[in-house]
Amino acid sequence: MLSGRSGGGEANRSCEGCAVRASAICCSLDPVALDALSRLGRKIHVLAGQTLVWEGDESILVGNVLAGMLKLSTVTGDGREQIVGIVYPSDFIGRPFGRDSHHSVTALTDASLCVFGRSAFDRFAHEHGEVEHALLARTLVELDRARHWMLLLGRKSACERVASLILEMSARLNAEQEIALPLSRQQMADVLGLTIETVSRSLTKLKHAGIISLPGTRRLTIDAPDKLKRIADG
């Protein structure tokens, strides 16, 4: 459920100029259908740390990420938070055609989203097969990513995992060299199934090898992308 502290919404009457228009699920809609979908949505702005969707709540909200990054997380049986995914611009959040949310969605950075009531969006998707097709294609991509991540966690060394995460963030954020890291060292450890000490050692190792630079605690520069990719590939 959208947190009451998540910031105001505004009518979303025009999709022209949308930064993620070409890669969002609505990219295949004709102008008439796009205008109809636009009338169902609104833009919201959330601050880092604010939660849009809570695990276990009824799924009443879906939408496209326009800017910023968010995390998908669940609470383990012993009360710990486990990050199960990272959401980037143009990604889709929420659970269309489903009643309950299986994870929480929380902003890692300040973010903007185009959101829809889930029931209204479900009806629109049923009436517009191109949206259902886009959702299916997006789901299959996410499934492939999840399988890749299972391989990463199960087979790769700590340094290979850290290198893989850096490359993923670089690619998804279109940041070829310098990255404003949205994840703390602890969050990187949670995502990669490592300890914070191991993540720090791996980053230091990559830095000493001249592969990355760390100009700040939340900034990273890729100095040798080919070498970083070779490490990530194992």
Reading the block at residue 161, the tokens are 């995992």
For residue range 129-181, what is the model confidence (pLDDT) as tens digits? Answer: 888 888 888 888 888 877 877 777 778 899 999 999 999 899 888 887 899 88
The sheet carrying 219-222 orders its strands as 178-180, 219-222, 212-216
What number is the average pLDDT over the span 9-26?
A: 70
**Residue type (1 letter), 122:** D
Nearest Cα neighbor of 153 from 167, 165, 136 is 165
Instruction: Give the angle 116-5-218 at the CA atoms, nearest 5°.
Output: 95
Give the bridge partners for 82, in sequence order: 74
- pLDDT tens for each residue of 204-220: 999 999 999 999 878 99
Please choose, from the candidates 99, 113, 11, the residue with its C-alpha nearest in 3D space to the C-alpha of residue 57: 99
Instruction: Tell me the β-bridge partners of 58.
Output: 100
Q: Residue 10: pLDDT band by 50, 70, 90 thresholds?
A: low
Find, among 105, 101, 115, 2, the residue nearest to 65 by Cα. 115
Q: Take residue 166 and report the two structure tokens written for it.
A: 């850096």
Cβ atoms of residues 56 and 27 within 8 Å: no
Q: What is the CA radius of gyration of the chain?
A: 19
Q: Residue holding tokens 């890749």?
A: 148
- Give the mean model confidence (pLDDT) for residues 41-69: 91
**Averaged pLDDT for residues 118-122:** 92
pLDDT exceeds cutoff 70 at 81: yes
**Identity of the amino acid at 233:** D
| Average of per-residue pLDDT values in the chain | 86
The pLDDT score that the predictor gives to residue 218 is: 85
> In the prediction, which pLDDT does 153 show?
73
For residue 137, CA distances in Å to 127, 133, 142, 143, 147 come to 17, 6, 9, 10, 16
